[in-house]
Structure 1
Amino acid sequence: MEQAKPLPGYLVQRYHGWKATAFADNEVWHKRMADEGQHPRVMVISCCDSRVHVTAIFGADQGEFFIHRNIANLVPPYAPDGDHHGTSAAVEYAVTKLNVAHIIVLGHSNCGGVASCDDMCCGKAPELEERHSFIGHWLDILRPDFDTVKHINDRAKRIKAMEKQAVVTSLRNLLSFPFVAGAVEQGHLSLHGLWTDIGDGGLQVYDSENGFVSL
C-alpha cells in the first residue's frame, strides 16, 4: 500500500525515548502483563478529544483501565442488528470477557461532538444531515434528548447541559444491554457518570437525585 508512509521523525524519537526510560525502568512489569493478560477492573468510555487524558485524570497505570473512545462518549442502545457495533462490541468484551467491576462514562467541556449535535438539532449543520455523514449518523444517538435542553437560549450553557445529558443518555443505553443490566442487578457491575472541565480540571459525578455534583 503506497499511501502508507514512515512514521514522522518526532514520533520515532519519542518512541526511542520511552523505550529507553519508562519501558526499561518497568520491563519486568511489561513482561508480566504480556504473559498474564489484562485484568482491568474499570472500563472507561470517553470522547476521542485529544484534550481528555483519561489515565492522567485518575493516575492510572498501564493495564488498569479498559478504554473505549468515540465521538461525544456515546453508547448506542442495544441493537444486535444495528449499525453501531464498535462501541457495543467493546462494552460486551469488557463485561462478558474481562468482567470489569465498573463502567465509567466520561463527558467533558467544550465537546465538539456535542456542539455539532446542537448545530444539527438547530438546523445549522445541513452537512451532518446528509446520508453519507458518519458524524451525523452517530450523533443521532444523542439527538432525541435535545428536547431536555432546547429551552436553554444561551448556546454555551445549552451545550454544557447537553454534554452532561450525553453522559446520562449513555448510562441509560448501557442498561439496555441485557448482559450489562444483568451484571448490575447481580451486584457484579456498577455504572458511573462523570463530566470533566478540561480548563480547570474539575470533575463532577452524576447522581440520579442531585444531577452532577463536583468532587
Structure 2
Amino acid sequence: MQAARPLPNYLIQRYQGWKATTYSENSAWYRRLATEGQRPRAMVISCCDSRVHVTSIFGADQGEFFIHRNIANLVPPYEPDGDHHGTSAAVEYAVTALNVSHLIVLGHSSCGGVQGCLDMCQGKAPQLEEKTSFVGRWMDILRPGYERVKDSHAEADQARALEKESVLVSLSNLMTFPFVKEKVESSALTLHGLWTDIGEGSLEYYDTKSGTYQPV
C-alpha cells in the first residue's frame, strides 16, 4: 500500500504524552480491559462531527461506551439484504453480543449532514441527488423526517427541527430490528434520544410523554 504515510509530528507528540501520563498512571486498568474484554453498559450512536465528543460530555472512561459514529447519527431500517451495513452491524454486535442495557442516539446543533439533507430535499444541492453520492444516499434515510418538519416549522427553524427529528427517525428505525424490539419489549434494553447544543453545552432528552425535548 503505497499511499500510507507516517503520522504527523503533532499526533506523535500527543500520543507520546498520553502514553507517558494517562496510560502510565492507569496501565493496570488498560491491561485489565485488554485481557478481560469490554463490558460497556451503553451504546452511543452519534454524528461523525469532530465537535461532538461523546466521552467528554459524559465524563466516560475507556470501556464504558460502545460508540458508533456516522453522518447525522442515523440508523437505517432493518434490511438484511446482504449489502454492507456498518451501522446495522454495530447495533447487532452491541445488542446481541455485548448485551448493552442502554442504546443512545445523540444528535447535535449545526449538523452539516442534516443541513445537507435539508438542502437536498429543497432542491438546493443537486450534487447530493446523484446516485454516486454516498452522503446523499445516506441522507435519504432522513427524508421522512424532512416531510414531517417542512410544513410544521418556519424555514428558519427547519434545520434545528430536522436535527432533532434525525434522532427520532433513528429511534424508530432501531425498533425495526427484531433483536432490538425483542429486548426493548422485555425491558432488557432501553432506547434514549438526546440532542446537544455545541455552543451552549446543553443537553436535551426526548420525552415520550410530552412528545418534546426537555433539558437534562
Q: TM-score, normalised by structure 1?
A: 0.97
1:26-41 to 2 correspondence within 5 Å?
A: 26-41=26-41
1:1-16 to 2 correspondence within 5 Å?
A: 1-16=1-16
Q: Secondary structure at the match of 1:2?
A: coil
Q: Secondary structure at the match of 2:5?
A: coil
Structure 1 Cα separation of the partners of residues 25 and 163 of structure 2: 39
The alignment-based identity, stated in percent, is 65
Partner of 1:154: 155
Q: Secondary structure at the match of 1:43?
A: strand
The one-letter amino acid paired with 1:85 is H
- In structure 1, stretches of 5+ residues that fail to align are none
Partner of 1:62: 62
The one-letter amino acid paired with 1:45 is I
Structure 2 Cα separation of the partners of residues 75 and 204 of structure 1: 20
Residue 215 of structure 2 corresponds to residue 214 of structure 1: yes
Partner of 1:53: 53
Q: Secondary structure at the match of 2:141?
A: coil
Question: Is contact 1:76-1:84 (8 Å) kept?
Answer: no
- In structure 2, stretches of 5+ residues that fail to align are none
Structure 2 Cα separation of the partners of residues 133 and 160 of structure 1: 24
Residues 47-92 of structure 1: per-residue CA shift (max 9 Å, x gap):
0000000001111111000000000000000000164610000000
Structure 1 Cα separation of the partners of residues 194 and 13 of structure 2: 35
Shift of 1:2: 1.5
Partner of 1:134: 134
Partner of 1:19: 19
Partner of 1:199: 199
Partner of 1:79: 79
Q: Secondary structure at the match of 1:21?
A: helix
Q: Secondary structure at the match of 2:106?
A: strand
The one-letter amino acid paired with 1:107 is G
Shift of 1:12: 0.4
Partner of 1:95: 95
Structure 2 Cα separation of the partners of residues 43 and 194 of structure 1: 13
- Over 3 Å counting, the alpha-carbon distance change for 1:82 and 1:194 in structure 2 is farther
1:177-192 to 2 correspondence within 5 Å?
A: 177-192=177-192
